[in-house]
């Protein structure tokens, strides 16, 4: 293992679970799901982090209502993620001033590793990673540099999104997929997903008013959508999480 890789491993050693939210197609709800999952864990009382790895289109900060021009990770032997709504949050948006980072090839690799090498996460139960659509560089880097990372795949019920999921099922990453979230669901597609060898974690309908809650976390967390994410988080996390959750109900 190279020095750089071991530096990354060291930075992540206090994190129990690393969960990357992935999909072949864009617009299926990865960013909203990743952000809401991290917020839900914090709501349950479990230290959680959110890492926005969608370099060209980072948008978790918009959901969290974080002004990346005003709030900045503090430098201290690396950088400390921004604490917001009970979660630790890190994104390249803090450095790109919220604008697109036009990266290609090795540049993606460099930013990916740099971000992981500088960020000093606390002791977390889980780090949720938002990723760009498709199974390109960032996903492959996660698979390579973060051997402990698990994936949750998101799909909508449409044919093209399901085809992309099937492609994921055809890669070596399939073993690391915890399950599939069917988002903006309008028809049952359980059996198609299960035929690919994946478990359906939850089916989430389309909610017309969700757009109104971007940037308003308190209101977002009261929606039926957030309720579905709670259900999912409970399924995904281990018994100790469930025990903690039961204590809160
Ligand atoms: N279940 C849902 N109902 C209604 N709108 C949704 C739902 N899930 C996501 N959205 C909206 O769909 C859009 C795309 O979601 P996003 O999380 O950016 O997708 P991705 O990250 O996969 O490209 C966003 O405006 C988001 O608020
Ligand atoms: Mg996204």
Is the alpha carbon torsion for 58, 89, 62, 75 positive or negative? negative
CA–CA gap between residue 48 and residue 197 (Å, rounded): 29
| Helix (H/G/I), strand (E/B), else coil: 168 | helix
The CB of 184 under 6 Å from ligand 1? The reply is yes
Q: Which residues constitute the domain of residue 217? A: 3-248
- Which residue stretches of 12-136 are H helix? 30-43, 60-64, 93-96, 106-118
CA–CA gap between residue 73 and residue 121 (Å, rounded): 11
Assess contact for 128 and 38: CB atoms under 8 A: yes
Looking at residue 119, which CATH number applies to its domain?
3.40.50.300
Q: What percent of the chain has pLDDT over 70?
A: 94
pLDDT band at 240 (very low <50, low <70, confident <90, very high): low
The CB of 227 under 6 Å from ligand 1? The reply is no
Strand 177-185 relative to strand 82-84: parallel, antiparallel, unpaired?
unpaired
Q: Residue with structure tokens 């599939």?
A: 180
Ligand 1 atom with least separation from CA of 185: 1
- For residue range 182-225, list pLDDT tens digits in order: 999 999 999 999 999 999 999 999 999 999 999 999 999 999 99
Ligand 2 centre distance from Cα of residue 182 (Å): 15
Residue scoring higher pLDDT (237 or 40): 40
The CB of 23 under 6 Å from ligand 1? The reply is yes
What's the average model confidence in pLDDT over 107-112? 91
Ligand 1 centre distance from Cα of residue 4 (Å): 35
The CB of 32 under 6 Å from ligand 1? The reply is yes
And the tokens for 115?
Answer: 């971000």
248 pLDDT more than 50: no
- For residue range 144-179, list pLDDT tens digits in order: 999 999 999 999 999 999 999 999 999 999 999 999
Query: Does residue 65 come out as left (phi exceeding 0), alpha (psi in the -120 to 50 range) or beta?
Result: left
pTM: 0.95
Total domain count, the chain: 1
1 pLDDT more than 80: no
Query: What DSSP assignment string belongs to 16-27?
Result: EEEEEEE-SSSS
Separation in Å, CA 74 to CA 10, 120, 149: 19, 10, 26
| Atom 12 of ligand 1, nearest CA residue | 29
- For residue range 6-39, list pLDDT tens digits in order: 899 999 999 999 999 999 999 999 999 999 999 9
What stretch of H or E contains 83?
A: strand 82-84
**Contacts of residue 207, Cβ cutoff 8 Å, sequence gap at least 6:** 223, 224, 225
Query: What DSSP assignment string belongs to 52-68?
Result: E--GGG--HHHHHT--T
Work out the mean pLDDT of the chain and round it to a whole number: 92
Ligand 1 atom with least separation from CA of 214: 27
247 pLDDT more than 60: no
């Amino acid at each position: 293992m190279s020095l750089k890789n071991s530096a990354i491993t060291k930075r992540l050693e206090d994190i129990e679970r690393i969960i990357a939210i992935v999909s072949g197609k864009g617009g299926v709800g990865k960013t909203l799901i990743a952000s809401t999952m991290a917020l839900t864990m914090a709501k349950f009382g479990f230290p959680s982090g959110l890492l926005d790895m969608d370099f060209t289109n980072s948008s978790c900060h918009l959901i969290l209502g974080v002004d990346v021009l005003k709030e900045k990770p503090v430098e201290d032997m690396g950088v400390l993620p921004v604490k917001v709504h009970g979660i630790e949050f890190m994104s390249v948006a803090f450095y790109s001033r919220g604008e697109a980072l036009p990266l290609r090839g090795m540049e993606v690799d460099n930013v990916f590793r740099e971000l992981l090498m500088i960020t000093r996460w606390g002791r977390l139960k889980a780090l949720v990673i938002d990723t760009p659509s498709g199974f390109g560089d960032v996903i492959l880097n996660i698979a390579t540099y973060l051997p402990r990372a698990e994936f949750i795949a998101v799909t909508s019920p449409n044919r093209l999104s399901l085809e992309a999921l099937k492609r994921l099922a055809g890669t070596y990453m399939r073993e690391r997929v915890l399950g599939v979230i069917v988002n903006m669901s309008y028809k049952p597609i359980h059996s198609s997903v299960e035929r690919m060898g994946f478990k359906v974690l939850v089916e989430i309908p389309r909610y017309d008013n969700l757009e109104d809650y971007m940037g308003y976390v308190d209101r977002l967390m009261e929606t039926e959508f957030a309720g579905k994410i709670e259900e999912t988080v409970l399924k995904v996390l281990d018994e100790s999480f469930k025990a903690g959750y039961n204590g809160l109900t």
